[in-house]
Each structure stands twice: as structure tokens, then as C-alpha cells.
Amino acid sequence: MSEAYFQRLQAALIAAGRHLPTLVVDSERLAANIAAVRRMTAPSLALRVVEKSLPAPDLLRLVMAGLETNRLMSFHLPFVQQAAMAFPEADILLGKPMPVGAVGGVSPALDAQVHWLIDSPDRLAEYAALAAQSGRALRICLEVDIGLHRGGFSLDRSGEFTAALTRLRDDPNLHLTGLMGYEPHIARLPRLIASPARALRAARTAYARFHVLAVQTLGPEAAAKLIFNTGGSTTFMLYDGSGAETEVALASALVKPTDFDLPALKALQPAAFIATPVLKTVERPDIPMARGLSRVLRLLGRSPQRACFIYGGNWLADPCHPAGARRSPLFGHSSNQEMYDLPASSALKPGDFLFFRPRQSEALFLQFGDIAVFDGTAITDWWPVWHETH
């Protein structure tokens, strides 16, 4: 990303009258990433968009249209409810199991649209009791452990899994819709433990065994109707469509925070930035009560010749412009006026912007109000984000 790019983005924000910390999404880069993801995904696999990573209805609508999918994955009940209202045609799979008490408080109107995730026999019994007592018909997806070891039904206790399948087959209030197996460890494991290729083989082998058990327990016709969900932004491109998997989930890769700067995603561009005004610049900043020590540290190159204080700070993000800016190790974090060291040659001044790349999207996208949409020249729109409900 060039100096010219950030100068255009700064000019666009100023022209839009925006002088507050702002989350920006580059719509041109997002469109290019959507096209790249489609090229990288096996044609036989459906795509499911993880809404927590793109938590704004207009953003989701654009992505779902670009990927030609109505499938969402959700992780937070207030957002499930908002997604169901915003996208009445959406098919929503829970990405984590919800406490049965929370599910009991959700409108039965959502039951035809939502797949509830079950990770254990005990939780299945709780949901069965809820359905029987309330007369609700619940769609159930079973979480299976294909190598992450974060819970879910395990092949080491395959009897529990087949018993759950049998119970779901026979319960008139519960309807089995599929399995969900998550495997982000494939791209993150140290190579000393396992290569990505070996971890992928192990995960797919485990999923294949769960598929066999489903066929044996339910019959091939019933098993053929199930969702077999897997994948994530770091692994979706690894599946060729030849296995048990029927769909892959992703979202963060489409805006490419820094945690997704991986070789497998080199075709994608960063498309999300934080822009925040510079409030103050300081020449030869001093440590409080230690002016002499500050001079020594500057001579040793341990303290900067220039620095700035920004509007806000302490985000899960890293500065990306101007080049060489870094959070001050001497002053530490601040959510109010965080200090950043600058190169001695920096011309940054109050009223300019310091730019960051988020490390993740998810919760960070909710911290700035409406998202600014940048088309490479101007701010063309503002996208509201999901809100918490009580």
C-alpha cells in the first residue's frame, strides 16, 4: 500500500467531514477479494459466510451476493436475531453451542431458519427437553471433533455420536440437519508438531469416519441430505470437494486483517483499515521526571526524535501508515490518547490521520460506529453495524 493510497483515503475522510476514529472498508479491494475467493473454492462446495467477522448487514449483503450464497454462520444470539430479520431467506448455522436457557428465550419464529449446534449428549438431552416442553421443532447440527480438540463429539467415544444420531432420528421435536467440524489448527500448528498437509489429512480422515457412522446409522439417503460443514478463512481453499465435506465457512479473509497474512491467502488484499486523527505531535518526547534520561535514550536510539498522540488507541491493530510508526514502548497503551513513535523524517501533523490494519475483524468492527465505505477515491456510504440487544 503506497503513500498515495493513504493520502487519498485521508482526503476522502476529511472531505466526508469525518474526524473521529473510523473503521474503513475498501469496496474495490473487497470486490477483488470476493472474486478471488470464488476462484479459490472448489465448485462443488457451498460457501457459508461467518457473520461475526463482517458484523454489518450491508457488508454481509454485498458479500452474500458476491459469493452467491444465503448461508450464514453466527456466534451470538442478538446477532442471530438481527441476521434473521435482515435476511429472512438466510440459512443460519450456529458456530458454537448456546446455553439451553438462552435458546428458550429466542422466538420460535427463528426455528425454521436456524440450525442449533449440539456438542454433547447432555446438551442434546437439554434441547430435547426444551423442545418437548415448548412444542418447538428444533433443527440440530452436531459439532464433531476432527482434530481441534475444543469439544464436540469424538471418535474416541463414537458410541455417543451414534446414540445422538439415533436419538435425533427418533425424536419428533428434533431434526438433524448436519455436522460441523472446525479445524483452524491446520494452518496454525507449529511445523514441529505437524505440517499443514498432515493436519489436513488427519482432519479429513476423521470427518470421513463421522460420515461413515452417519451413513451406517441413518442410511445413505438420509445422510446424503445432511450438511457437512468445515473450513475457515485459513483453510477453505484446501478442500477439493472430493470428501465428505459439503460446505466451507469463511469471512475474515475477505477483508484480510493481519492475522491472515498467510501464504495461502496471498491472492487477497487488505481491505479494512482503522483511521484515527493525530491530536498532537511532539519533538524529542521526554519521559516524565526524567528529561536527562530521555536525552540519553534518544542518543542511544531507544527513544524517538518525534512522536504523536492519537485520538483513541489500544485497539487490536497495528500501525501501517506512515511507515515506521510504532506504539511507544515507554508510554504504553492508552485507550484515550495513545502515543506512537514516528521516524525523525515524518511530516505528520495534527489533523492528519494515522492508519492501522486490524489483526482480526469480529469484535473490532463493532468499536467505531458506522463503517466508512471507500471506493479508492471517496467515502461513498456508511454501513451500520450490529448492535447488542437486551
Query: Average pLDDT in the 301-320 region?
Result: 85
Looking at residue 77, what is its pLDDT? 95
Could you tell me which residues come within 8 angstroms of residue 367 by beta carbon, excluding any fewer than 6 positions away? 23, 315
pLDDT band at residue 45 under the 50/70/90 scheme: very high
pLDDT band at residue 194 under the 50/70/90 scheme: confident
Cis peptide leading into residue 88 (ω within 30°): no
Looking at residue 69, what is its pLDDT? 98
CA-to-CA distance for 318 and 280, rounded, in angstroms?
A: 19
Query: Is pLDDT of 226 > 80?
Result: yes
Amino acid at 148: L
Query: Average pLDDT in the 23-35 region?
Result: 98
Rg (CA), the chain: 24
User: Worst-scoring range by mean pLDDT, 152-156, 169-173, 201-205, 361-365?
Assistant: 361-365
263 three-state secondary structure: helix
Give me 330's grid cell.
515507554
Alpha carbon of residue 152 to chain centroid: 21
Query: Is pLDDT of 289 > 50?
Result: no
Alpha carbon of residue 204 to chain centroid: 23
Beta strands of 295-352 (E only): which ranges? Answer: 306-310, 317-321, 326-327, 339-342
Query: Is pLDDT of 171 > 60?
Result: yes
Query: Average pLDDT in the 171-178 region?
Result: 98
Query: Is pLDDT of 299 > 80?
Result: no
Query: Average pLDDT in the 143-162 region?
Result: 96
pLDDT band at residue 191 under the 50/70/90 scheme: confident
Residue 64 near residue 70 (C-beta atoms within 8 A) = yes
pLDDT digits (tens, 9 = 90+) for 87-108: 999 999 999 999 999 999 999 9
Q: Which one, of 309, 379, 365, 316, lies nearest residue 342 by Cα?
A: 309
Please, what is the Cα angle at 233 between 231 and 236, to 5 degrees? 40
- Beta pairing class for 306-310 and 339-342: antiparallel
State how far the alpha carbon of 234 is from the alpha carbons of 70, 185, 230, 231, 386, in Å. Answer: 21, 9, 11, 8, 25
Looking at residue 368, what is its pLDDT? 97
Please, what is the Cα angle at 169 between 168 and 173, to 5 degrees? 60
- Beta pairing class for 317-321 and 353-358: antiparallel
Looking at residue 298, what is its pLDDT? 59
Amino acid at 226: L
